[in-house]
Structure 1
Amino acid sequence: MKLASLKEGGRDGSLIVVSRDLGRAVRVPSIALTLQRALEDWDNTAPRLNAAFEALQGGASLVEGQAAFTLETHSLAAPLPRAYEFVDGSAYLPHVDRVRRARGATVPESFYVDPLMYHAVGAGFYGPNDPVLVPDEAFGIDLEAEVVVVTDDVPMGVNAVDAAQHIQLIGLINDVSLRNLIPDELAKGFGFLQSKPRSTLSPVFVSPDELGEAWLDSKVHLPLLSHINGEWFGAPEAGEDMQFSFAQLIAHAARTRPLVAGSIVGSGTVANQDEGRGASCLAEKRMLEIIRDGKPSTPFMRFGDRVRIEMLDRSGASIFGAIDQVMQKSG
Protein backbone atom coordinates (compact mmCIF):
# COMPACT_ATOMS: atom_id res chain seq x y z
CA MET A 1 0.00 0.00 0.00
CA LYS A 2 0.95 3.65 -0.41
CA LEU A 3 0.23 6.35 2.16
CA ALA A 4 0.56 10.14 2.17
CA SER A 5 -0.64 13.21 4.08
CA LEU A 6 -2.54 16.23 2.83
CA LYS A 7 -1.74 19.77 3.97
CA GLU A 8 -4.86 20.00 6.11
CA GLY A 9 -6.05 19.11 9.58
CA GLY A 10 -3.21 20.68 11.57
CA ARG A 11 0.49 20.10 11.98
CA ASP A 12 0.32 16.35 11.35
CA GLY A 13 -1.69 16.61 8.14
CA SER A 14 -4.54 14.37 7.04
CA LEU A 15 -3.80 10.72 6.21
CA ILE A 16 -4.72 9.48 2.75
CA VAL A 17 -4.34 6.18 0.91
CA VAL A 18 -2.82 6.55 -2.56
CA SER A 19 -3.16 4.32 -5.62
CA ARG A 20 -0.15 2.45 -6.93
CA ASP A 21 0.17 4.77 -9.96
CA LEU A 22 -0.02 7.83 -7.66
CA GLY A 23 -3.01 9.11 -9.62
CA ARG A 24 -5.85 8.74 -7.10
CA ALA A 25 -6.28 8.98 -3.35
CA VAL A 26 -8.87 8.78 -0.60
CA ARG A 27 -9.12 10.11 2.95
CA VAL A 28 -9.59 7.47 5.65
CA PRO A 29 -10.72 9.28 8.83
CA SER A 30 -12.63 6.21 10.03
CA ILE A 31 -9.29 4.33 10.22
CA ALA A 32 -6.92 7.07 11.40
CA LEU A 33 -6.80 10.84 11.03
CA THR A 34 -3.00 10.95 10.70
CA LEU A 35 -0.21 8.58 9.76
CA GLN A 36 1.27 8.93 13.23
CA ARG A 37 -2.01 7.75 14.76
CA ALA A 38 -2.09 4.81 12.36
CA LEU A 39 1.46 3.75 13.24
CA GLU A 40 0.68 3.83 16.96
CA ASP A 41 -2.04 1.20 16.41
CA TRP A 42 -0.46 -0.51 13.41
CA ASP A 43 -1.66 -4.06 14.09
CA ASN A 44 -5.24 -2.80 13.80
CA THR A 45 -4.90 -0.02 11.23
CA ALA A 46 -2.54 -1.68 8.72
CA PRO A 47 -5.03 -4.36 7.54
CA ARG A 48 -7.77 -1.76 7.14
CA LEU A 49 -5.48 0.65 5.29
CA ASN A 50 -4.39 -2.16 3.00
CA ALA A 51 -8.03 -3.05 2.32
CA ALA A 52 -8.70 0.59 1.43
CA PHE A 53 -5.68 0.53 -0.87
CA GLU A 54 -6.95 -2.58 -2.64
CA ALA A 55 -10.41 -1.02 -3.05
CA LEU A 56 -8.83 2.09 -4.54
CA GLN A 57 -6.74 -0.08 -6.84
CA GLY A 58 -9.91 -1.81 -7.93
CA GLY A 59 -11.33 1.47 -9.14
CA ALA A 60 -13.78 2.13 -6.29
CA SER A 61 -15.09 5.68 -6.23
CA LEU A 62 -16.14 5.39 -2.58
CA VAL A 63 -13.79 3.87 0.04
CA GLU A 64 -14.54 3.76 3.78
CA GLY A 65 -17.42 6.12 3.07
CA GLN A 66 -15.10 8.69 1.46
CA ALA A 67 -14.98 9.78 -2.19
CA ALA A 68 -11.78 9.08 -4.11
CA PHE A 69 -10.13 12.07 -5.78
CA THR A 70 -7.34 12.92 -8.22
CA LEU A 71 -4.06 13.36 -6.39
CA GLU A 72 -2.11 16.61 -6.80
CA THR A 73 1.36 16.35 -5.26
CA HIS A 74 1.49 20.09 -4.51
CA SER A 75 -1.31 19.47 -1.98
CA LEU A 76 0.86 17.02 -0.04
CA ALA A 77 2.69 17.58 3.19
CA ALA A 78 5.42 15.14 4.13
CA PRO A 79 3.86 11.70 4.83
CA LEU A 80 4.98 12.26 8.42
CA PRO A 81 5.02 16.06 8.78
CA ARG A 82 6.86 15.59 12.07
CA ALA A 83 8.37 12.53 13.72
CA TYR A 84 9.18 11.80 17.33
CA GLU A 85 12.54 10.39 16.23
CA PHE A 86 14.72 10.77 13.14
CA VAL A 87 18.11 9.10 13.25
CA ASP A 88 20.30 9.11 10.18
CA GLY A 89 23.04 6.64 9.42
CA SER A 90 25.93 6.71 6.99
CA ALA A 91 25.72 3.16 5.71
CA TYR A 92 27.40 3.70 2.32
CA LEU A 93 31.12 3.57 3.01
CA PRO A 94 32.18 4.60 -0.54
CA HIS A 95 30.75 8.03 0.34
CA VAL A 96 32.63 8.08 3.65
CA ASP A 97 35.83 6.89 1.97
CA ARG A 98 35.83 9.66 -0.67
CA VAL A 99 35.18 12.41 1.83
CA ARG A 100 38.04 11.18 4.00
CA ARG A 101 40.45 10.54 1.12
CA ALA A 102 40.01 14.12 -0.07
CA ARG A 103 41.57 15.29 3.19
CA GLY A 104 44.24 12.56 3.25
CA ALA A 105 42.51 10.30 5.77
CA THR A 106 41.39 6.69 5.63
CA VAL A 107 38.27 4.90 6.84
CA PRO A 108 38.86 3.44 10.33
CA GLU A 109 38.32 -0.32 10.61
CA SER A 110 35.63 0.28 13.24
CA PHE A 111 33.42 1.91 10.58
CA TYR A 112 32.96 -1.52 8.97
CA VAL A 113 31.43 -3.05 12.10
CA ASP A 114 29.93 -0.12 14.01
CA PRO A 115 27.48 2.14 12.11
CA LEU A 116 27.85 5.90 11.93
CA MET A 117 24.66 7.59 13.06
CA TYR A 118 23.47 10.94 14.37
CA HIS A 119 20.25 12.33 15.82
CA ALA A 120 18.63 14.43 13.07
CA VAL A 121 15.84 17.02 12.87
CA GLY A 122 12.47 15.29 13.25
CA ALA A 123 10.36 18.21 14.49
CA GLY A 124 9.34 19.14 10.96
CA PHE A 125 9.79 17.93 7.37
CA TYR A 126 9.15 19.73 4.11
CA GLY A 127 6.53 18.37 1.74
CA PRO A 128 7.81 17.01 -1.59
CA ASN A 129 7.29 20.28 -3.51
CA ASP A 130 8.02 22.75 -0.71
CA PRO A 131 11.02 25.06 -1.17
CA VAL A 132 14.08 24.53 1.01
CA LEU A 133 14.48 27.72 3.04
CA VAL A 134 18.05 28.81 3.82
CA PRO A 135 19.21 32.18 5.22
CA ASP A 136 22.38 32.48 3.10
CA GLU A 137 23.82 30.79 -0.01
CA ALA A 138 27.26 31.09 1.61
CA PHE A 139 26.26 28.29 4.00
CA GLY A 140 26.95 25.78 1.19
CA ILE A 141 23.57 24.26 0.26
CA ASP A 142 23.74 20.57 -0.64
CA LEU A 143 21.27 17.80 -1.36
CA GLU A 144 21.60 14.32 0.12
CA ALA A 145 19.47 11.68 -1.60
CA GLU A 146 18.70 8.83 0.78
CA VAL A 147 16.28 6.02 1.55
CA VAL A 148 14.41 5.98 4.86
CA VAL A 149 12.30 3.44 6.73
CA VAL A 150 9.58 4.04 9.31
CA THR A 151 9.14 1.77 12.32
CA ASP A 152 6.39 0.75 14.67
CA ASP A 153 7.32 0.51 18.37
CA VAL A 154 10.82 -1.01 18.65
CA PRO A 155 11.95 -2.47 21.98
CA MET A 156 15.27 -1.49 23.49
CA GLY A 157 18.04 -4.00 22.78
CA VAL A 158 16.34 -5.55 19.73
CA ASN A 159 18.62 -7.67 17.54
CA ALA A 160 18.92 -7.13 13.80
CA VAL A 161 16.84 -10.20 12.91
CA ASP A 162 13.90 -9.03 14.99
CA ALA A 163 14.43 -5.39 14.02
CA ALA A 164 13.55 -6.25 10.42
CA GLN A 165 9.99 -7.06 11.52
CA HIS A 166 9.56 -3.50 12.80
CA ILE A 167 10.08 -1.88 9.36
CA GLN A 168 6.58 -0.90 8.27
CA LEU A 169 7.07 1.78 5.63
CA ILE A 170 9.77 2.92 3.21
CA GLY A 171 10.37 6.29 1.56
CA LEU A 172 12.93 8.76 0.23
CA ILE A 173 14.45 11.87 1.77
CA ASN A 174 16.45 14.89 0.71
CA ASP A 175 18.54 15.26 3.85
CA VAL A 176 19.67 18.83 3.22
CA SER A 177 23.12 19.82 4.47
CA LEU A 178 24.76 23.22 4.83
CA ARG A 179 28.30 22.10 4.08
CA ASN A 180 30.20 25.26 4.95
CA LEU A 181 28.84 25.17 8.50
CA ILE A 182 29.83 21.55 9.13
CA PRO A 183 33.61 21.88 9.76
CA ASP A 184 33.29 24.32 12.64
CA GLU A 185 30.47 22.29 14.21
CA LEU A 186 32.37 19.00 14.00
CA ALA A 187 35.48 20.70 15.39
CA LYS A 188 33.53 21.32 18.59
CA GLY A 189 33.21 17.55 19.01
CA PHE A 190 29.48 17.70 19.70
CA GLY A 191 27.85 16.94 16.34
CA PHE A 192 25.57 18.67 13.83
CA LEU A 193 23.12 21.45 14.68
CA GLN A 194 22.99 24.55 12.46
CA SER A 195 24.45 22.63 9.51
CA LYS A 196 21.44 20.27 9.35
CA PRO A 197 18.18 22.14 8.64
CA ARG A 198 14.83 20.53 7.87
CA SER A 199 14.78 17.71 5.36
CA THR A 200 12.22 16.80 2.68
CA LEU A 201 10.28 13.53 2.44
CA SER A 202 8.95 11.82 -0.69
CA PRO A 203 5.26 12.28 -1.59
CA VAL A 204 4.33 8.80 -0.36
CA PHE A 205 5.64 6.08 1.93
CA VAL A 206 5.04 2.50 0.84
CA SER A 207 4.79 -0.84 2.60
CA PRO A 208 7.72 -3.18 1.90
CA ASP A 209 5.58 -5.54 -0.23
CA GLU A 210 5.14 -2.74 -2.79
CA LEU A 211 8.82 -3.16 -3.68
CA GLY A 212 8.49 -6.86 -4.46
CA GLU A 213 11.85 -8.53 -5.09
CA ALA A 214 13.60 -5.16 -4.82
CA TRP A 215 13.15 -5.35 -1.03
CA LEU A 216 15.68 -7.95 0.10
CA ASP A 217 17.70 -8.30 3.31
CA SER A 218 16.25 -5.01 4.61
CA LYS A 219 17.72 -3.08 1.66
CA VAL A 220 16.14 -1.48 -1.42
CA HIS A 221 17.75 -2.88 -4.56
CA LEU A 222 16.97 -0.13 -7.06
CA PRO A 223 18.78 3.00 -8.36
CA LEU A 224 18.11 6.30 -6.60
CA LEU A 225 17.85 9.03 -9.27
CA SER A 226 18.88 12.64 -8.69
CA HIS A 227 18.65 15.62 -11.04
CA ILE A 228 19.82 19.20 -10.46
CA ASN A 229 18.25 21.89 -12.64
CA GLY A 230 16.95 19.19 -14.98
CA GLU A 231 20.35 17.59 -15.54
CA TRP A 232 21.15 14.03 -14.50
CA PHE A 233 23.30 13.98 -11.38
CA GLY A 234 23.38 10.37 -10.20
CA ALA A 235 21.72 6.97 -10.06
CA PRO A 236 23.64 4.80 -7.59
CA GLU A 237 22.13 1.44 -6.70
CA ALA A 238 20.68 1.69 -3.19
CA GLY A 239 21.10 -2.05 -2.54
CA GLU A 240 24.81 -2.13 -3.35
CA ASP A 241 27.68 -1.08 -1.09
CA MET A 242 25.31 -0.56 1.85
CA GLN A 243 27.52 -1.76 4.68
CA PHE A 244 24.65 -1.96 7.18
CA SER A 245 21.08 -2.94 6.37
CA PHE A 246 18.12 -1.03 7.77
CA ALA A 247 17.57 -3.83 10.27
CA GLN A 248 21.14 -3.38 11.52
CA LEU A 249 20.72 0.40 11.68
CA ILE A 250 17.53 0.03 13.73
CA ALA A 251 19.23 -2.40 16.11
CA HIS A 252 22.09 0.06 16.51
CA ALA A 253 19.72 2.96 17.27
CA ALA A 254 17.72 0.89 19.76
CA ARG A 255 20.69 -0.53 21.66
CA THR A 256 20.12 1.63 24.76
CA ARG A 257 16.59 3.01 24.18
CA PRO A 258 13.36 1.97 22.53
CA LEU A 259 12.17 3.64 19.33
CA VAL A 260 8.57 4.81 19.32
CA ALA A 261 6.12 4.17 16.50
CA GLY A 262 6.71 6.63 13.70
CA SER A 263 10.48 6.74 14.12
CA ILE A 264 12.38 7.43 10.88
CA VAL A 265 15.73 5.78 10.20
CA GLY A 266 17.84 7.05 7.30
CA SER A 267 20.38 5.18 5.20
CA GLY A 268 22.76 8.06 4.70
CA THR A 269 23.81 9.36 1.29
CA VAL A 270 23.50 6.56 -1.28
CA ALA A 271 26.85 5.90 -2.99
CA ASN A 272 28.56 3.10 -4.93
CA GLN A 273 32.15 2.11 -5.58
CA ASP A 274 31.32 2.57 -9.27
CA GLU A 275 31.83 6.31 -9.76
CA GLY A 276 30.19 6.13 -13.19
CA ARG A 277 26.78 5.95 -11.53
CA GLY A 278 27.12 9.51 -10.31
CA ALA A 279 26.55 10.83 -6.83
CA SER A 280 23.72 11.65 -4.41
CA CYS A 281 25.27 14.81 -3.00
CA LEU A 282 27.46 17.64 -4.27
CA ALA A 283 30.01 17.15 -1.50
CA GLU A 284 30.94 13.74 -2.88
CA LYS A 285 31.40 15.09 -6.40
CA ARG A 286 33.55 17.89 -5.02
CA MET A 287 35.66 15.40 -3.08
CA LEU A 288 36.32 13.42 -6.26
CA GLU A 289 37.39 16.64 -7.95
CA ILE A 290 39.79 17.38 -5.08
CA ILE A 291 41.24 13.86 -5.34
CA ARG A 292 41.66 14.23 -9.13
CA ASP A 293 42.49 17.94 -9.56
CA GLY A 294 43.54 19.15 -6.14
CA LYS A 295 40.53 21.47 -5.82
CA PRO A 296 36.74 21.37 -6.27
CA SER A 297 35.15 22.86 -9.38
CA THR A 298 31.46 22.08 -8.75
CA PRO A 299 29.72 24.79 -6.70
CA PHE A 300 27.12 24.17 -4.04
CA MET A 301 23.53 25.08 -4.87
CA ARG A 302 22.27 28.62 -5.22
CA PHE A 303 18.83 30.11 -4.64
CA GLY A 304 16.54 29.13 -7.50
CA ASP A 305 18.29 25.81 -8.14
CA ARG A 306 15.93 22.84 -8.41
CA VAL A 307 16.46 19.30 -7.11
CA ARG A 308 14.54 16.19 -8.15
CA ILE A 309 14.93 12.86 -6.33
CA GLU A 310 13.01 9.76 -7.37
CA MET A 311 13.12 5.97 -7.51
CA LEU A 312 11.59 3.96 -10.36
CA ASP A 313 10.65 0.30 -10.39
CA ARG A 314 12.02 -2.05 -13.06
CA SER A 315 9.18 -1.08 -15.40
CA GLY A 316 9.99 2.62 -15.07
CA ALA A 317 7.08 3.61 -12.82
CA SER A 318 7.67 6.00 -9.93
CA ILE A 319 7.38 4.20 -6.60
CA PHE A 320 7.40 7.03 -4.05
CA GLY A 321 6.69 9.98 -6.33
CA ALA A 322 9.32 12.67 -6.80
CA ILE A 323 10.85 15.15 -4.39
CA ASP A 324 10.92 18.21 -6.67
CA GLN A 325 11.83 21.48 -4.99
CA VAL A 326 13.82 24.71 -5.25
CA MET A 327 16.34 26.31 -2.94
CA GLN A 328 14.95 29.59 -1.60
CA LYS A 329 16.15 32.39 0.64
CA SER A 330 14.31 32.36 3.96
CA GLY A 331 12.35 35.42 5.00
Structure 2
Amino acid sequence: MKLASYADGSRDGHLVVVSRDLTQAHYATGIATRLQQVLDDWGFVAPQLEDLAVQLNHGKLRHAFAFEPAKCVAPLPRAYGWAVACADGGVRRDAGHFANPHQPLRAPARAEPALAAITGDLNAASDAAAALDALRLLTFAVDWRLDDETIATQAAPLAVTPDELGDAWAAGRLQARLVALHNGAKLEPRDVAAAPGDALARLARLRALRAGQVAGVALGTLDVPLAAGDSLHLDLKTAAGHSLFGALDLDIAPPPLA
Protein backbone atom coordinates (compact mmCIF):
# COMPACT_ATOMS: atom_id res chain seq x y z
CA MET A 1 0.00 0.00 0.00
CA LYS A 2 0.96 3.61 -0.48
CA LEU A 3 0.45 6.12 2.33
CA ALA A 4 0.82 9.88 2.58
CA SER A 5 0.09 12.62 5.09
CA TYR A 6 -1.94 15.64 3.96
CA ALA A 7 -1.27 19.02 5.51
CA ASP A 8 -4.08 19.90 7.91
CA GLY A 9 -2.49 22.50 10.18
CA SER A 10 -1.23 19.90 12.66
CA ARG A 11 2.37 18.83 13.21
CA ASP A 12 1.81 15.35 11.79
CA GLY A 13 -0.63 15.83 8.95
CA HIS A 14 -3.65 13.61 8.25
CA LEU A 15 -3.09 10.07 6.98
CA VAL A 16 -4.38 9.19 3.51
CA VAL A 17 -4.19 6.02 1.42
CA VAL A 18 -3.05 6.59 -2.16
CA SER A 19 -3.93 4.48 -5.19
CA ARG A 20 -1.30 2.41 -6.97
CA ASP A 21 -1.31 4.74 -10.00
CA LEU A 22 -1.03 7.84 -7.74
CA THR A 23 -4.20 9.40 -9.12
CA GLN A 24 -6.65 8.88 -6.22
CA ALA A 25 -6.55 9.10 -2.43
CA HIS A 26 -8.86 8.51 0.51
CA TYR A 27 -8.63 9.65 4.12
CA ALA A 28 -7.86 6.87 6.58
CA THR A 29 -10.17 8.43 9.17
CA GLY A 30 -11.82 5.74 11.28
CA ILE A 31 -8.72 3.57 11.04
CA ALA A 32 -5.90 5.99 11.88
CA THR A 33 -5.30 9.70 11.47
CA ARG A 34 -1.49 9.71 11.74
CA LEU A 35 1.15 7.36 10.41
CA GLN A 36 2.72 6.89 13.85
CA GLN A 37 -0.54 5.34 15.05
CA VAL A 38 -0.19 2.73 12.32
CA LEU A 39 3.40 1.96 13.27
CA ASP A 40 2.50 1.64 16.95
CA ASP A 41 -0.10 -1.06 16.24
CA TRP A 42 0.94 -2.39 12.83
CA GLY A 43 -0.48 -5.88 13.14
CA PHE A 44 -3.98 -4.58 13.83
CA VAL A 45 -4.11 -1.35 11.80
CA ALA A 46 -2.12 -2.18 8.67
CA PRO A 47 -4.53 -4.90 7.43
CA GLN A 48 -7.40 -2.41 7.65
CA LEU A 49 -5.45 0.08 5.58
CA GLU A 50 -4.61 -2.68 3.09
CA ASP A 51 -8.34 -3.38 2.67
CA LEU A 52 -8.94 0.32 2.11
CA ALA A 53 -6.16 0.40 -0.48
CA VAL A 54 -7.66 -2.57 -2.34
CA GLN A 55 -11.04 -0.85 -2.51
CA LEU A 56 -9.40 2.38 -3.64
CA ASN A 57 -7.45 0.63 -6.40
CA HIS A 58 -10.67 -0.97 -7.64
CA GLY A 59 -12.57 2.31 -7.68
CA LYS A 60 -15.01 1.23 -4.97
CA LEU A 61 -14.67 4.16 -2.55
CA ARG A 62 -17.34 6.80 -3.01
CA HIS A 63 -15.41 9.51 -1.17
CA ALA A 64 -12.09 9.10 -2.99
CA PHE A 65 -10.54 12.29 -4.35
CA ALA A 66 -7.75 13.27 -6.70
CA PHE A 67 -4.34 12.85 -5.08
CA GLU A 68 -2.37 16.11 -4.93
CA PRO A 69 1.29 15.72 -3.90
CA ALA A 70 1.53 19.47 -3.33
CA LYS A 71 -0.77 19.06 -0.31
CA CYS A 72 1.52 16.53 1.36
CA VAL A 73 3.80 16.96 4.30
CA ALA A 74 6.40 14.27 4.94
CA PRO A 75 4.74 10.88 5.54
CA LEU A 76 6.19 10.82 9.07
CA PRO A 77 7.10 14.42 9.91
CA ARG A 78 8.25 13.65 13.46
CA ALA A 79 10.07 10.33 13.48
CA TYR A 80 11.62 8.87 16.62
CA GLY A 81 15.03 9.22 15.02
CA TRP A 82 16.84 9.54 11.69
CA ALA A 83 20.23 7.99 11.03
CA VAL A 84 22.02 7.45 7.73
CA ALA A 85 24.28 4.47 7.08
CA CYS A 86 27.07 5.94 4.96
CA ALA A 87 29.06 4.17 2.26
CA ASP A 88 32.24 4.33 4.36
CA GLY A 89 30.60 2.25 7.10
CA GLY A 90 29.89 5.14 9.41
CA VAL A 91 26.51 6.22 10.77
CA ARG A 92 25.35 9.83 10.82
CA ARG A 93 22.59 10.59 13.30
CA ASP A 94 20.32 13.63 13.05
CA ALA A 95 16.99 14.77 14.43
CA GLY A 96 14.02 12.88 13.06
CA HIS A 97 12.24 15.94 11.69
CA PHE A 98 11.35 15.77 8.01
CA ALA A 99 10.47 18.78 5.88
CA ASN A 100 7.69 18.42 3.33
CA PRO A 101 8.40 17.44 -0.30
CA HIS A 102 8.13 21.01 -1.58
CA GLN A 103 9.59 23.08 1.24
CA PRO A 104 11.98 25.81 0.00
CA LEU A 105 15.56 25.97 1.22
CA ARG A 106 16.96 29.25 2.51
CA ALA A 107 20.46 28.77 1.13
CA PRO A 108 22.28 26.49 -1.32
CA ALA A 109 23.43 23.20 0.19
CA ARG A 110 24.78 19.81 -0.85
CA ALA A 111 22.12 17.22 -1.67
CA GLU A 112 22.68 13.75 -0.22
CA PRO A 113 19.80 11.42 -1.24
CA ALA A 114 18.96 8.29 0.70
CA LEU A 115 16.49 5.44 0.75
CA ALA A 116 14.63 5.81 4.07
CA ALA A 117 13.44 2.69 5.89
CA ILE A 118 10.72 3.14 8.51
CA THR A 119 10.85 0.38 11.10
CA GLY A 120 8.61 -1.24 13.63
CA ASP A 121 10.04 -2.28 17.00
CA LEU A 122 13.39 -4.01 16.52
CA ASN A 123 15.42 -5.73 19.24
CA ALA A 124 19.03 -4.83 19.87
CA ALA A 125 21.60 -7.00 18.08
CA SER A 126 19.07 -8.09 15.45
CA ASP A 127 20.54 -9.36 12.18
CA ALA A 128 19.58 -8.15 8.71
CA ALA A 129 16.90 -10.84 8.29
CA ALA A 130 15.16 -9.81 11.52
CA ALA A 131 15.51 -6.16 10.52
CA LEU A 132 13.75 -6.87 7.22
CA ASP A 133 10.91 -8.52 9.14
CA ALA A 134 10.58 -5.31 11.15
CA LEU A 135 10.69 -3.09 8.06
CA ARG A 136 7.32 -1.42 7.61
CA LEU A 137 7.62 1.24 4.93
CA LEU A 138 10.11 2.82 2.56
CA THR A 139 10.38 6.36 1.26
CA PHE A 140 12.90 8.68 -0.38
CA ALA A 141 14.70 11.38 1.58
CA VAL A 142 17.41 13.97 1.01
CA ASP A 143 19.75 15.42 3.58
CA TRP A 144 20.72 18.99 2.76
CA ARG A 145 24.20 19.55 4.16
CA LEU A 146 26.21 22.73 4.53
CA ASP A 147 29.76 22.64 5.92
CA ASP A 148 29.20 19.01 6.99
CA GLU A 149 26.11 19.92 9.00
CA THR A 150 22.63 18.75 8.08
CA ILE A 151 20.49 21.87 7.83
CA ALA A 152 17.33 20.10 6.66
CA THR A 153 16.03 16.66 5.74
CA GLN A 154 13.29 16.49 3.15
CA ALA A 155 11.04 13.47 2.57
CA ALA A 156 9.10 12.41 -0.52
CA PRO A 157 5.27 12.41 -0.42
CA LEU A 158 4.74 8.64 -0.21
CA ALA A 159 5.65 5.93 2.26
CA VAL A 160 5.27 2.56 0.56
CA THR A 161 5.21 -1.06 1.71
CA PRO A 162 7.94 -3.09 -0.05
CA ASP A 163 5.40 -5.28 -1.87
CA GLU A 164 4.25 -2.19 -3.81
CA LEU A 165 7.70 -1.73 -5.38
CA GLY A 166 7.34 -4.57 -7.88
CA ASP A 167 10.49 -5.53 -9.78
CA ALA A 168 12.40 -2.70 -8.09
CA TRP A 169 12.43 -4.78 -4.88
CA ALA A 170 14.04 -8.21 -4.70
CA ALA A 171 15.70 -10.18 -1.88
CA GLY A 172 15.47 -7.23 0.48
CA ARG A 173 17.20 -4.88 -1.92
CA LEU A 174 15.94 -1.86 -3.86
CA GLN A 175 17.23 -1.18 -7.35
CA ALA A 176 16.07 2.07 -8.86
CA ARG A 177 17.09 5.03 -10.97
CA LEU A 178 17.72 8.46 -9.47
CA VAL A 179 16.38 11.11 -11.83
CA ALA A 180 17.20 14.79 -11.35
CA LEU A 181 16.23 18.04 -13.03
CA HIS A 182 18.33 21.13 -12.30
CA ASN A 183 16.52 24.32 -13.27
CA GLY A 184 14.40 22.20 -15.59
CA ALA A 185 17.34 20.56 -17.36
CA LYS A 186 17.60 16.79 -17.01
CA LEU A 187 20.83 15.49 -15.51
CA GLU A 188 22.33 12.10 -16.31
CA PRO A 189 20.24 9.46 -14.46
CA ARG A 190 22.05 7.32 -11.92
CA ASP A 191 21.29 3.69 -11.11
CA VAL A 192 21.25 3.11 -7.35
CA ALA A 193 20.91 0.10 -5.06
CA ALA A 194 20.19 -0.09 -1.35
CA ALA A 195 19.73 -2.82 1.27
CA PRO A 196 17.69 -1.30 4.12
CA GLY A 197 17.79 -4.45 6.24
CA ASP A 198 21.56 -4.09 6.59
CA ALA A 199 21.19 -0.44 7.58
CA LEU A 200 18.55 -1.19 10.22
CA ALA A 201 20.64 -4.02 11.65
CA ARG A 202 23.64 -1.71 11.87
CA LEU A 203 21.61 0.83 13.84
CA ALA A 204 20.25 -1.89 16.13
CA ARG A 205 23.69 -3.36 16.84
CA LEU A 206 23.89 -1.82 20.32
CA ARG A 207 20.35 -0.74 21.11
CA ALA A 208 16.77 -1.54 20.28
CA LEU A 209 14.90 0.54 17.72
CA ARG A 210 11.45 1.91 18.40
CA ALA A 211 8.57 1.83 15.93
CA GLY A 212 8.79 5.07 13.99
CA GLN A 213 12.57 5.27 13.76
CA VAL A 214 13.98 5.79 10.26
CA ALA A 215 17.23 4.47 8.82
CA GLY A 216 18.65 5.95 5.66
CA VAL A 217 20.86 4.17 3.14
CA ALA A 218 23.05 6.80 1.49
CA LEU A 219 22.76 6.88 -2.30
CA GLY A 220 25.75 9.14 -2.89
CA THR A 221 26.10 12.90 -3.02
CA LEU A 222 24.38 14.61 -5.92
CA ASP A 223 27.16 16.44 -7.73
CA VAL A 224 25.23 19.52 -8.75
CA PRO A 225 26.43 23.06 -8.01
CA LEU A 226 23.45 24.87 -6.55
CA ALA A 227 22.99 28.61 -6.27
CA ALA A 228 20.40 30.96 -4.84
CA GLY A 229 17.35 31.00 -7.09
CA ASP A 230 17.91 27.46 -8.42
CA SER A 231 15.34 24.67 -8.48
CA LEU A 232 15.95 20.94 -8.13
CA HIS A 233 13.60 18.04 -8.89
CA LEU A 234 14.55 14.59 -7.57
CA ASP A 235 12.76 11.28 -8.04
CA LEU A 236 13.51 7.59 -7.54
CA LYS A 237 12.02 5.67 -10.45
CA THR A 238 11.75 2.14 -11.75
CA ALA A 239 13.60 1.11 -14.90
CA ALA A 240 10.31 1.67 -16.72
CA GLY A 241 10.16 5.26 -15.48
CA HIS A 242 7.49 4.97 -12.78
CA SER A 243 7.92 7.07 -9.65
CA LEU A 244 8.29 4.91 -6.54
CA PHE A 245 7.74 7.47 -3.77
CA GLY A 246 6.74 10.69 -5.51
CA ALA A 247 9.09 13.52 -6.34
CA LEU A 248 10.96 16.03 -4.21
CA ASP A 249 10.86 19.58 -5.56
CA LEU A 250 13.09 22.19 -4.02
CA ASP A 251 13.37 25.90 -4.66
CA ILE A 252 16.35 27.68 -3.17
CA ALA A 253 15.59 31.19 -1.95
CA PRO A 254 16.52 33.79 -4.59
CA PRO A 255 19.41 36.15 -3.90
CA PRO A 256 18.49 39.25 -1.88
CA LEU A 257 17.59 42.37 -3.77
CA ALA A 258 20.44 44.85 -4.10
TM-score w.r.t. length of structure 2: 0.93
CA distance in 1, matches of 2:153, 2:185: 22
Give the alignment of 1:1-331 within 5 angstroms: 1-8=1-8, 10-62=10-62, 67-91=63-87, 111=88, 115-122=89-96, 124-134=97-107, 137=108, 141-178=109-146, 181-182=147-148, 195-239=149-193, 245-268=195-218, 270-271=219-220, 280-282=221-223, 300-328=225-253
Query: Which amino acid in the other structure matches residue 118 of structure 1?
Result: R
Give me the whole-angstrom Cα distance separating, in 2, the residues matched to 1:330 and 1:154. 45
Match of 1:296 in 2: none
Q: How many aligned positions are there? A: 256
- Larger strand share, 1 or 2: 2
Contact 1:144 1:177 survives alignment (8 Å): yes
CA contact (8 A) 1:219 1:238 kept: no
1:38 Cα offset (Å): 0.7
1:148-181 deviations in Å (ceiling 9; x for gaps): 1111111111111211111111111121111xx2
* TM-score relative to the length of structure 1: 0.73
1:117/1:217 CA distance change after superposition, 3 Å: farther
> What code does the residue aligned with 1:165 have?
D
Residues 228 and 255, structure 2, Cα contact 8 Å, conserved in 1: no
For the 8 Å contact 1:227–1:234, the answer to whether it is kept is: no
* Aligned 8 A contact 1:121 1:197 in 2: no
Normalized per residue, which structure has more helix?
Answer: 1
Residue 163 of structure 1: SS of its match in structure 2?
A: helix
Q: Give yes or no for contact 1:121–1:196 (8 Å, CA) kept in 2.
A: no
Question: Could you report, residue by residue, the CA deviation over 1:50-81 in whole angstroms, capped at 9, with x for unpaired residues?
Answer: 1111110001233xxxx211111111101111
Tell me how far apart the structure 2 counterparts of residues 116 and 329 of structure 1 sit (CA, whole Å).
35
- For 2:70 and 2:189, how far apart are their aligned partners in 1? 25
Kindly indicate whether the alpha-carbon contact (under 8 Å) linking 2:177 and 2:239 is maintained by their aligned counterparts in 1. no
Kindly tell me: are residues 126 and 234 of structure 1, through their superposed partners in 2, closer, same or farther at Cα, counting changes over 3 Å?
farther
Contact 1:131-1:326 at 8 Å conserved across structures: yes
RMSD over aligned CA atoms reads 1.9
Which structure has the bigger radius of gyration?
Answer: 1
Identical counterparts, % of pairs? 31
Letter in 2 for 1:81: P
Kindly provide the amino acid, as one letter, of the partner of residue 281 in structure 1.
L
Unaligned runs of 5+ in 1: 92-110, 183-194, 272-279, 286-299
CA contact (8 A) 1:229 1:306 kept: yes
